[in-house]
Structure 1
Amino acid sequence: MNTTFEYGRQFVVDNRKDLESYLCSLWKEYKEIWPAQHEDENPDSGSNSGSSSKYQPFLSFDGNFARARNYIGFIHFENSNIEIYPKVFQNELKEPETRKIKELMHRHLFYWFSYCRKVKFPFNQASLDRFDFELPELILYLFAKQICEVISLRPYSAYEEVQEALFTPRGRINFDRYAARMSCGNYHMIDCDYEPFIFDNLLNRTIKYCTRLMLSKTRVIETQRILNEIIFMLDEVDDRVCSVQQLQTIRIPSMYSDYEDVIQICCMILKNQVYSYQEYEFKNWSLLFPMEYIFEDFISGYIRKHFSNTFKVEPQKSDLYLHTSPNTFNLQHDILLTNKKTEEQIIIDTKYKPRWNLEKCDSKKGIAQTDMYQMISYAYRRGTDKVLLIYPNTSDKPADDSVFLIYKGTKDETIKIKAVDVPFWSLDGHLSVEKKLKAELRSILSDEF
């Protein structure tokens, strides 16, 4: 097991050629979910030069050495097991292999996911009671527990179309098929289409298939017990190989809304598996998430939950262009806040760029010049003088805020850009983050800065 941080130390990999090929094939699926907008994404650089089809943003390679990039999660490929954790932990938690440190990071990960919409993990918070597993086993355990809870609480039956030749008509007679059967002399069999209300339906067959896939992968006895319990509850359901395309055709009635999370679990499993020659066996399995999106989505979700009474919260606001007639150079704010009383607007831009050792930094306070140009153009075009740059903390105590006044030609009008480190993680655990972050954002958003 190789355990590392984003952009952390290099580690040795077996069979680099096949691993890299697998990651390239994985990216073909992922790039539809995560558009290529990462600052380090360049298909013409490094070992991937000359062909974007051979590009993947997960690992960079140097001979038989690999190094994680900006995706966190895990990669299981043949004999290679790699876990990648957020770089914000690496200064304080220098030994990610230890169980206590992994548990701390796991709790933070699932706490962040609970506020995310783009990276929505379908887990009830009450299910997060076991963190003494490796990350892949932890996810399998949580998948299994969530599915088991939903099925035991509300078994799912549905109307499903069946095409069958019967002696007695049922439902609708399919005359095209019946005519073809009569030409073969089977006039006594009537082809019918009908929709019985059945337990052996497409969704339950998919759940059972995904359960067997997980059972083939997990080595944890508790997870195996839960998965076998699911299979027992679905004993009347046929064993069939199912695909994500079939899953996406299912529409769940409102009374079974809790199955939406189960569908999402099955979708994640089916999208990330690579079939081996043996049925119900994972050959390779990976789950990877870009931390830029997690940080942005977490902050957006947190503000939406705790400050929507005061502000209208608009994530990914993109209604303005730098140039009009025709519209070109679209501006997209990570978050736009509009005060419901005063109608004052605040542009928020999240920057997942930890600012290490700020006390030793120059007067720029670790802010990239291109980011500053970007914020000025946002504020000028939006017509607001308030811009907030939000960075994750790099130590247990966030750095002091920094304010930059940008004059609009005269000293009478200024754009105020405030850079703040917010509590994103804590050595005291995610519950400490919840409390500190609310106080910090309340102070920032009520301040005139």
Structure 2
Amino acid sequence: MPAYTVREWDKLSYGDGEGQIPAHHADRLAALAARSVFAGRGGDGVLEHGRHALRARGVVGILAAGDASLEILPKIDVAPGETPNHQNAVIRKRLVHMLAVALDLKIDLGVITDLAWQRETLLEILIRIFCDKLTTALRKGMPRRYLEREEDLPTLRGQLDITRQFTRHAVNSSRLACRFDLLSEDIALNRLMKAAVVRLLRVSRRSTNQQRLRELAFIYADIADVPPSALRCDEVVIDRTNRSWQELFAMARLFLQNRYQTTTGGAGQGTAMLFEMNALFEEYVGRLVVRALAGTGLAVSLQGGRLFCLSAQDSGGALFQTRPDILIRQRGRVVHVIDTKWKRISARIDDPKQGVTQADVYQMMAYAQLYGAPRLTLLYPHHLGLGAEDAVHACHRITGHATILETASIDVGSSADILTRFRSLLIGEASEGLMHV
């Protein structure tokens, strides 16, 4: 299968040469992208289907249609001078790191060789990680639970269901209406795992992944086949007896129905696994802020607050609810509001406003009014044009208020000391005074 790669907001021109995509492949992939929930009303929220090129937008992941696939990678700065394959490998690793943080997964990125990061697509790498984790977990045994069963048997097992006995078998005393608990492997968690294995077996193109998935499918042969649309994730029980399956549960949902991703099926239609970078960046930052501020006395709320901008005088209702990405509280009071934005801002020397939109500023001013926080932060991904290190780039005082609005960036291209860097950004010397206002 021909595999093509493009980075977020870049173009992939039509043609048969190196770094190009044949027009017939582009047409199929663009048609698949247009059916995604991220496509928007115009159908180009994932890919712009231009006259001369495909242009990726703010959604990353994998599209596969017909005999071709397209990998869309996020626009993350990497070391200049490296080959495109090496740069793409670094970006894949950073994206998997972001997914691991957002989904609370423990993934050892070092077990995958540099060559594999370069040769395999994001989807194949995620499948490989899933197979590794699932194989390791199954060596310790498949999860089982007691399920309540009702059967009509010749001898009593468990308890007699008197009501059913005297309504169904009133004239047939040879059958007993039994109710009993059966220790079974055919439970919601295993059905979810089997559905993920079956689905991945259809979309994987790497022979090694296909072989491992076939072996896993054989292990799950006695588990009921349930289509993804009929799976009941709410019936999955994760407790102390199967806590080690929490990560696999999250990964299976990622492949089947995770909120970041959409899947389109059907004969000849193709498949897609897509992630909206705005949502992924927000979740990634939120999880890291929670970890960075643990033990500091500061409480973190993600998508909290939910205060309304307006109160209707005639009906007494409320209008225009707010949902700040991150609220940081100290002794119950909101002291810091953070809103994440997955877009590249300019250095102040190039643009005093740094490309911050008026709508973003108005939004933060509304947060200042409603939540009374002395510090507001618009947080962006860092890039080399902003300097060597992530930092607070500008601080502004809102007119007529003591509230500070700042723009800052965090380097998602480097996982080294990420919690230390977040902690410094949030409660460094420059902000300690605000935290105690």
Q: TM-score range by the shorter chain?
A: 0.7 to 0.9
Q: Which amino acid aligns with 1:339?
A: Q
Aligned pair partner of 2:60 in 72, 78, 101: 72
1:129 is displaced (CA, Å) by 1.8
Structural RMSD (CA)? 3.6
| Residue 346 (1) aligns with residue 322 (2) | no
The 5 Å alignment of 1:297-446 reads: 297-308=283-294, 309-324=296-311, 325-340=316-331, 343=333, 345-361=335-351, 363-395=352-384, 397=388, 398=390, 401-408=393-400, 413-426=401-414, 430-431=415-416, 433-443=418-428, 445-446=431-432
Distance 1:5 1:275, change over 3 A: closer
Specify the SS of the correspondent of 2:413.
coil
| Residue 263 (1) aligns with residue 249 (2) | yes
* Equivalent residue number for residue 168 of structure 1: 155
Distance 1:95 1:315, change over 3 A: same
1:2 and 1:11 in contact (8 A); partners too: no
TM norm structure 2: 0.78
Q: Which amino acid aligns with 2:410?
A: V
Distance 1:333 1:234, change over 3 A: closer
Show CA shifts across 1:42-80 (max 9, x none). 52xxxx3xxxxxx46322222474221111111112223
* Equivalent residue number for residue 106 of structure 1: 92
CA distance in 2, matches of 1:374, 1:134: 38
2:341 and 2:380 in contact (8 A); partners too: yes
Specify the SS of the correspondent of 1:420.
strand
For structure 1, the 5+ residue unaligned runs are 32-40, 49-54
1:203 and 1:247 in contact (8 A); partners too: no
CA distance in 1, matches of 2:357, 2:413: 23
1:318 and 1:333 in contact (8 A); partners too: yes
Q: Which amino acid aligns with 1:353?
A: K
Show CA shifts across 1:227-249 (max 9, x none). 355345446x2563544533423
1:304 is displaced (CA, Å) by 0.9
1:425 and 1:433 in contact (8 A); partners too: no
For structure 2, the 5+ residue unaligned runs are 15-22
1:130 is displaced (CA, Å) by 1.1
Q: Which amino acid aligns with 1:351?
A: K
Q: Which amino acid aligns with 2:320?
A: F
1:4 and 1:96 in contact (8 A); partners too: no
* Equivalent residue number for residue 18 of structure 2: none
1:163 and 1:194 in contact (8 A); partners too: yes
Specify the SS of the correspondent of 1:84.
strand
1:178 and 1:190 in contact (8 A); partners too: no
CA distance in 2, matches of 1:178, 1:243: 39
Q: Which amino acid aligns with 1:245?
A: A
* Equivalent residue number for residue 35 of structure 1: none
The 5 Å alignment of 1:31-50 reads: 43=41, 48=42
CA distance in 2, matches of 1:195, 1:24: 48
Aligned pair partner of 2:46 in 47, 54, 58: 58
CA distance in 1, matches of 2:137, 2:289: 30
CA distance in 2, matches of 1:326, 1:368: 30
2:195 and 2:228 in contact (8 A); partners too: no
Distance 1:130 1:415, change over 3 A: same
CA distance in 1, matches of 2:62, 2:247: 21
- Stretch deviating more after TM superposition (290-299 or 308-317): 308-317
Specify the SS of the correspondent of 1:314.
strand
CA distance in 2, matches of 1:72, 1:213: 20
* Equivalent residue number for residue 106 of structure 2: 124
* Equivalent residue number for residue 5 of structure 1: 7
CA distance in 2, matches of 1:435, 1:141: 30
Specify the SS of the correspondent of 1:81.
strand
* Equivalent residue number for residue 231 of structure 2: 246
CA distance in 1, matches of 2:355, 2:277: 19
Distance 1:8 1:317, change over 3 A: same
* Equivalent residue number for residue 145 of structure 1: 132
The 5 Å alignment of 1:137-286 reads: 137-162=124-149, 164-171=151-158, 172=160, 188=174, 192=178, 194-201=180-187, 203-224=189-210, 226-231=212-217, 233-234=219-220, 237-238=222-223, 240-248=225-233, 249-271=235-257, 284-286=270-272
1:3 and 1:96 in contact (8 A); partners too: no
Show CA shifts across 1:177-205 (max 9, x none). 9967999xx98555655432133545435
CA distance in 2, matches of 1:257, 1:388: 36
Specify the SS of the correspondent of 1:74.
strand
TM norm structure 1: 0.76
Q: Which amino acid aligns with 1:439?
A: S
Distance 1:209 1:385, change over 3 A: closer
Specify the SS of the correspondent of 1:317.
coil
- Stretch deviating more after TM superposition (390-399 or 169-178): 169-178
1:18 is displaced (CA, Å) by 5.2
Show CA shifts across 1:336-369 (max 9, x none). 212349x5612212222211454322x2232212
2:34 and 2:47 in contact (8 A); partners too: no
CA distance in 2, matches of 1:211, 1:178: 45
CA distance in 1, matches of 2:334, 2:198: 54
How many residues end up aligned between the 2 structures?
Answer: 405
Distance 1:320 1:240, change over 3 A: closer
Distance 1:206 1:389, change over 3 A: closer
CA distance in 1, matches of 2:128, 2:64: 16
Specify the SS of the correspondent of 1:336.
strand
Q: Which amino acid aligns with 1:317?
A: G
